[in-house]
Amino acid sequence: MDKWERKLGWMSFPGLLRYYALFHVMVFLLQFVNPQIGEVLDFDRQKIMEGELWRVFTFLFADSGFKGQGAFAMLFLFFMVMIAFMMSDALEGAWGVFRTSMFHFTAFAGLLAANFIYANPMPGSGFFVYSSAFFAFATLFPRHEFLMFLIIPVQVRWLAALWGGLLVVGALGQPLYLGYLLLAFANYILWAGIPALRGQARVLKAAGRKGKFTKAAGGDDEAFHRCAKCDRTEISDPDLDFRMSADGREYCEDHLAD
């Protein structure tokens, strides 16, 4: 990753998801004034081939399905922007600006490819950018809580599992769009999913070695998880969550973003 950053560091874009969300709000407000704007900005392969090249960028922000939604859509966008800002800061804190930027750029490229490949592009596909960021956030900070209906605390990992399940069930009804989802979430698979699985595999492998060592030593009270920053363990703090970072070291949830 350091080698990539030295070569492609110019692609680092601090707060990219923040700006993306703000552009969405701006486009929504324009559509609220003139509902036809969404149709001008949405993805249309034929019109792109005829020269309307702006659509390869603007489809990310356009959603003609929002027209006429009024106050409900505005409320939805408000909460979406607040959550997007929070996720943007958290991902950049955990990964750094460069890796987070590449994560989002991969999402843009995957959606563009999916819309070109499939005959009927999915309206509002730009919202998959938020979904992939949400899954990445849930992978890195699974115990973070959201207040459902402003009163019920729910850990983000359960919300991500529910949303992922709904996406899969929806795609099963249209098998052709399984490929669309794979492209739409390629950034999550490459930058968050696979690294998380590798980290978990290392943890399980280390657990096996520790188990053998503990059994041979005749003891079982030594901590398995230990934060490389503060030295806390699952014994000293049973409620603490530990994750493997990109540097191959294990950190508690309080220091993962350091």
pLDDT, tens digit (0-9, with 9 covering 90-100), for 191-238: 898 888 776 656 556 555 555 555 555 444 567 778 888 888 877 777
Residue 234 lies in a domain: yes
CA proximity to 129, closest of 158, 100, 156, 157? 100
Residue 239, domain extent:
223-258
Do 60 and 157 belong to one domain? yes
What is the pLDDT, as a whole number, of residue 171? 84
Domain count, the chain: 2
Residue 200 lies in a domain: no
Do 25 and 89 belong to one domain? yes
Mean pLDDT of 20-31: 88
What is the pLDDT, as a whole number, of residue 129? 95
Do 178 and 72 belong to one domain? yes
Confidence of residue 128 (pLDDT cuts 50, 70, 90): very high
Backbone angles phi, psi at 147, to 5 degrees: -95, 105
Q: Evaluate if pTM is beyond 0.85.
A: no
Do 15 and 132 belong to one domain? yes
Do 144 and 239 belong to one domain? no
Residue 180 pLDDT more than 50? Answer: yes
Do 122 and 229 belong to one domain? no
Confidence of residue 250 (pLDDT cuts 50, 70, 90): confident
Residue 199 lies in a domain: no
Residue 214 lies in a domain: no
Do 77 and 131 belong to one domain? yes
Higher pLDDT, 72 or 155: 155
Looking at 178, 194, 210, which one is the last position of a domain?
194
